[in-house]
Amino acid sequence: MVCALFLGLLLVFGVGEGLASDACVKEVVVESFDQQMPERSGVSIKNILDDSQTIKAELSPEDALGKKHGHSLMLAYDVDSYEPARVDFWFIPSQKDFSSFKTLRFFMKADPVAGGSKNITLQITDGLHRRSSYILTGIGKSWKLFEIPLKRFNRIRNWSDIQEIAFSLDDVYSVPKEGVLLIDEITATAQSC
């Protein structure tokens, strides 16, 4: 009784607001990058004959949550070309059913030394080959949590069969046009209470 009263007072005065909302969040890890690269993943380049368009994806020992043996995805890219340029990192998520989730969350930052784009395009493709994109802005040189409502991907109709998630950089939105970005802890979340 005393504990329930104390918790009720905390919630009324806002002190425990974060605790209550965190307890009501259903979350599943889509990709953590802690052990290895996703089994089915790769990179693509718009024009493979243009050697000024490059992307390299590998694991970095830097972890957004500071886990001792954690890693993040490091994308070293260059889209500074006289030709139209775009490079992608894509992966097929092990969690394909997003129908009970509302938000895609992940951490991202530009490398503090090499720098990186302040913008990146996130693309999701469903089992009917519908692709929907969302341009992320505000990437800085320290880890930032991005939370994108899945409803922003308005072309996706079948959330129970997500086939691909991709991060794309191009010569139009990427400023600067070459650099290094780190991505970590991709999760799908929903309010459960």
Domain boundaries, the chain: 26-191
Q: How far apart are CA 180 and CA 78, in angstroms?
A: 9
What pLDDT score does 14 carry? 34
The rounded Cα 63 to chain-centroid distance in angstroms is 14
Beta bridge partners, 90, equal: 42, 166
| Mean pLDDT in order along the chain per 10 residues (193 residues) | 35 34 83 93 93 96 95 97 95 94 97 96 96 97 97 95 97 94 96 76
Coil, strand or helix: which one is 124?
Answer: strand
What pLDDT score does 21 carry? 54
Report residue 9 as tokens: 């007072």
Coil, strand or helix: which one is 8?
Answer: helix
Q: Which CATH superfamily is domain 26-191 in?
A: Galactose-binding lectin (2.60.120.430)
Query: Which residues of 46-130 form beta strands (DSSP E)?
Result: 54-60, 72-78, 86-91, 103-110, 119-126
Q: How far apart are CA 59 and CA 126, in angstroms?
A: 26
What pLDDT score does 66 carry? 95
What pLDDT score does 100 carry? 94
What pLDDT score does 18 carry? 35
What pLDDT score does 193 carry? 73
